Structure 1
């Protein structure tokens, strides 16, 4: 028997891939401590002003493209029979082309090509050509005695502080809801960080050396990549209309929201006779059993014995299960984000069309928001014929407690007032919305802070020492917090790390092997 801890998208995906591979005689148990499955993938239906509409409480769109991560999600959606539910934003749509940064009281549209870097740059981006010139002309100043530095320090050293204050800080607000002064350059800007170390004349020139390393590493995975490419080609041949639609899209979701994906995973898993899903029972302990297997104890006292445990719990939850710990478990902070969903009873009321905007550090004094997503512009098909404009304002992140107090007890009234103030000041929308609601994702995004890769190595060693080699880990704290990263990590772990034909023996894998290989420094 194999047990999966955690019923978010990582746990559900892991269970799905296990169910595809294991014979029906092998029992699979999924244990979720809360009463609902899907983790931060949550879509709610609301009614206001005679209209029914959806709001997303967490992630809302998925990217297309040729990456393994993007293909893994699309293949999963196809296997779950969700093709007819997929809705897209075309590559030439405003949502795909227009992304903004709020800078000096105005929305600045980000450049979409190299040519726009040279002409007509908005104020927020004017620092970028100067930053590129600085990198090209500044002598190598890499701190070779250090294995990491913050994104802010890295960018300031090579491109100038303004590039971070005006641009990079906004991007990291949107992805990690965290401060670039804390985040790891090695973990999150690895190609550029490595280029700085390998090159002798700047980061951009050093990217050629990184390309050579990347080609050499691809040789390690050539067999895997070839098999996956052939399998994808077969899928395309069997469902050309679906894949042609995806080729024309920049991003996508589902007609009834992103929770469609996690809900379908749950319903399909319930069809497997060897899969049992347990909810509302937090794990309280994990230990080695007397017979050499592993076991977990649940809040109700139930003990589940397993040949292997795949642990997808957040780090702060996992830490409570063991008597020993490690630096990643102890030193990884999590960001909390308030998501405020606002609906207006009229279409197309934003002053610009696009995906939305982010707020950089340079504008933090003028804003409590991390950014705003123009939901109705991004995926208008979700609105149907309703006369409505949906927006989502994101608040908090590294400044949550400073602005709103404890995330666990933050006032809904204060959050919603801050969102309305943001919309009025940034977008000039003075009319009253027909609906506003908020939810706080407490500790929802792990922060990959300076020194993360070294701590990940520590985590790898620690996991191998637990439960006699019968536990491995997968999740947002390791391979990346985005939905596609969680899904590809789960698939790779099941397909390439675990020896499912020999579960009677300890697996002696951490689940972090491929991730760490990607960050190995070339000899």
Structure 2
């Protein structure tokens, strides 16, 4: 039986029965391993007679040890409070404090709000009622895919521009399992995704040249002055950690401060990491929190097992796996995972807005859902007399629970400044989509990022990065030509400007000025003449990127306490202002909130796992290498034999009952290398 070393007084944990089909360890109450036994052939035969997804077995309460008792050192076996006896499969018993006919409001019709409403409606049948509020005239929030007719340079066609998020990463560091929420949606709706070639070269602008960024070949790394300068500090830090585990920071600090303190390399923080942060957060490494933005980096390398057949998995990822694996058709789950070998996905025909379209279509067909488009929630208040929350007092419609998917600034205004939200910040970015009717005018790759170290005279536009959308197929919608569906022609680029630079006094350009600035930048950095015929559109996305600055975990803890005191946890804020940003983060936040309310406790506010306590002491689950959470996650394992087996095994043929792993021989072969 797989071991969960989750800290003292850990609640009983239910794990997938698949984990029981492998060698298991028996432990005493101190967490020490006593014995290891391989499954016998008879055990395998008996297991094969079980259903694919039986009710999940319970592990006994376990006490465990930490690596160090010194202050500031990460307790890797910290108490995991969300693994508790309330966990059930979909369709099983609900949370004990769930009202018989709950009336729930979801405020915000972006991807986070729509995902929350969908999974709530899926789990709560009538008489439960879910109402979704959206202030604007369209659903989807920042997701915005536009098909634009163009006539440039004698080429007439249609181009699909992604005006918001352009793709979804399926290999985000620290959140690799988030993609399984997307897989469940695709499984529910039968929507195909388009794997993008995320393995192509990528670059960082350094001294006016494009320098290869990781992952890259050894030859490219040796040619790269940036990677040569950071290689020695990284290797030295890794070796030191092998000999003596590096203390986990006892207080929050900026990413730049942490990297400088840990590795002593200014190039690592202000060039390499600065470029990465620009591309994801649009922020500065000198402002963003190491605790909240890069927790995987603080504990790197991850805790190491002394057992050959056991591996550490972040506890939040194990929790997601438990939930998805109990609800989703395993054959479809496996097929999606095997296809996903790219780390990036998009939607060919209608772009990323496909996600919001399919969610809205589903919600409109659900009898327990009411959609209120063009209805802002301007006033959210708690009524202690009835222990409910009302929205827009003139209507005085009480709700048992209000889930806010609004940005922190908007929620602060709607709650009349009753919650400590004033210190949650965000930045604006100017985006420019450019299409040229010519091909082969840019290098083949993903694009390049621009770090802080690039002087202003070399980057007067204060650009954050340039992305080669046509090079990887982002928004590569098919167009009709004489009744035949053909791929888009030409070259499509996406220029990202502003972010934290706008907050530092750099003037925000108009859309016309931004287009001209993007052309100037492309001429200077890629050699594309600024008078080259093209079609370009620009958009200012105001306050679109939340900034988890230093002290974010402390702010989350204060907000958690205020929600309990002033709203009795009847209000739950979720979304990028508080948890992970981006498309994957939005899907994960909505899924977790719906699951927590219906299966864990109706009185959770969604912030319990993001405060100071969890930031200081991340949780890991120790699980066998054969556990499906590792074998399904091709990107998390460097073992190519596992991935190859998943792709070629006839054991995963559609419609055939399959048990994984098939037998001890197969398991042993997969452990090699």
Instruction: Determine if the TM-score, normalized by the shorter chain, exceeds 0.5.
Output: yes
Q: Would you say the 8 A contact 1:479–1:489 is kept in 2?
A: yes
User: What residue is the counterpart of 1:53 in the other structure?
Assistant: 159
State which drifts further: 423-432 or 353-362.
Answer: 423-432
Gaps of 5+ in 2: 1-102, 479-485, 620-673
Q: 1:364 to 1:444 in 2, by over 3 A?
A: farther
In 2, Cα distance between the equivalents of 1:462 and 1:262? 32
Alpha-carbon distance in structure 2 between the residues aligned to 1:44 and 1:148: 41
Q: 2: distance between equivalents of 1:229 and 1:391?
A: 38
**1:42 corresponding residue in structure 2:** 144
Matches of 2:316 and 2:405, distance apart in 1: 27
Structure 1 residue 466 corresponds to structure 2 residue 571 = no
Match of 2:324 in 1: 228
Give the equivalent residue in structure 2 for 1:28: 130
CA distance in structure 2 between the partners assigned to 1:354 and 1:405 by the alignment: 31
Partner-residue secondary structure (3-state), 2:539: strand
Work out which of the residue numbers 541, 545, 549 in structure 2 matches 1:449: 549
Q: Shift in Å at residue 345 of structure 1?
A: 0.7
Structure-2 residue corresponding to 1:361: 452
Relative distance call for 1:30 and 1:164 in structure 2 (3 A) is same
Aligned partner of 1:417 among 504, 509, 516: 516
Gaps of 5+ in 1: 196-203
Q: Who is 1:521 aligned against?
A: 617
Q: Which moved more, 1:281-290 or 1:135-144?
A: 135-144
Secondary structure, counterpart of 1:361 in structure 2: coil
Q: Which residue of 2 aligns with 1:6?
A: 108
Shift of 1:250: 2.9
Distance in 1 (alpha carbons) for counterparts of 2:305 and 2:290: 15
> Shift in Å at residue 218 of structure 1?
5.7
Matches within 5 A, 1:31-180: 31-49=133-151, 50-64=156-170, 67-83=176-192, 86-90=193-197, 95-112=198-215, 116=218, 120-132=222-234, 135=237, 147-159=251-263, 160-180=265-285
Aligned residue number for residue 201 of structure 1: none
Larger Rg: 2
Cα displacement string for residues 1-37 of structure 1 (whole angstroms, at most 9, x for unaligned residues): 1100111100000000011011122111000111111
Q: Deviations over 1:450-508 (max 9, x none)?
A: 111111111111122233331112111122111111211211121124459x9xxxx33
Query: Secondary structure of 1:126's partner?
Result: helix
What is the CA-CA distance between 1:239 and the residue it aligns to? 7.2
Q: Report the Cα offset of residue 124 of structure 1.
A: 2.5
Q: 1:488 to 1:179 in 2, by over 3 A?
A: same
Alignment-derived partner of residue 274 in structure 1: 368
Higher helix share: 1
Tell me the secondary structure at the aligned position of residue 363 of structure 1. Answer: coil
Q: CA deviation at 1:56?
A: 0.9
- Aligned counterpart, 2:535: 435
Distance 1:307 1:459 in 2: 20
How far 1:109 sits from its partner (Å)? 1.5
Structure-2 change in CA distance of 1:210 and 1:446 (3 Å): farther
Query: 1:147 touches 1:451 (CA, 8 Å); kept in 2?
Result: no
Paired residues of 1:150 and 1:185 also in contact (CA < 8 A):
yes
Contact 1:156 1:162 in 2 (8 A): no
Worse-matched range after superposition: 440-449 or 142-151? 142-151
Q: 1:216 to 1:360 in 2, by over 3 A?
A: closer
Answer yes or no: is the 8 Å Cα contact 1:463–1:510 preserved in 2.
Answer: yes
User: 1:249-306: CA deviations, max 9, x gaps?
Assistant: 33111012101111111111111122111122221211123433211107xx444321
Whether the 8 Å CA contact 2:260–2:266 is kept in 1: the answer is yes
- Contact 2:379/2:416 (8 A) holds in 1: no
Partner Cα separation in structure 1 for residue 569 and residue 206 of structure 2: 51
Aligned residue for 1:78, secondary structure, equals: helix
**Equivalent residue for 2:588, pick from 468, 482, 488:** 488
Alignment of 1:235-314 (within 5 A): 235=330, 237-238=331-332, 242-246=336-340, 248-255=341-348, 256-289=350-383, 290-297=385-392, 301-314=394-407
Task: Give secondary structure in 1 for the equivalent of 2:199.
Answer: helix
8 Å contact kept, 2:515–2:538: yes
Alignment partner, residue 320 of structure 1: 413
**Partner SS for 1:41:** coil
Q: Kindly indicate whether the alpha-carbon contact (under 8 Å) linking 1:88 and 1:253 is maintained by their aligned counterparts in 2.
A: yes
Closer, same or farther in 2 for the Cα pair 1:498/1:463, shift >3 Å? Answer: farther
* Distance in 2 between residues matched to 1:265 and 1:452, nearest whole Å: 31
The CA distance in 1 between the partners of 2:188 and 2:207, in whole Å, is 47
Relative to structure 1, the CA distance from residue 457 to residue 216 in structure 2 (aligned partners, 3 Å threshold; closer, same or farther) is farther
Equivalent residue for 2:290? 185
- Asked whether the 8 Å contact 1:4–1:29 carries over to 2, the reply is yes
Q: Report the Cα offset of residue 188 of structure 1.
A: 1.6
Q: In the alignment, which of 334, 341, 345 is matched to residue 433 of structure 2? A: 341
Distance 1:220 1:243 in 2: 19
SS for the counterpart of 1:339 is strand
C-alpha spacing 1:145/1:226, structure 2 compared with 1 (3 Å):
closer
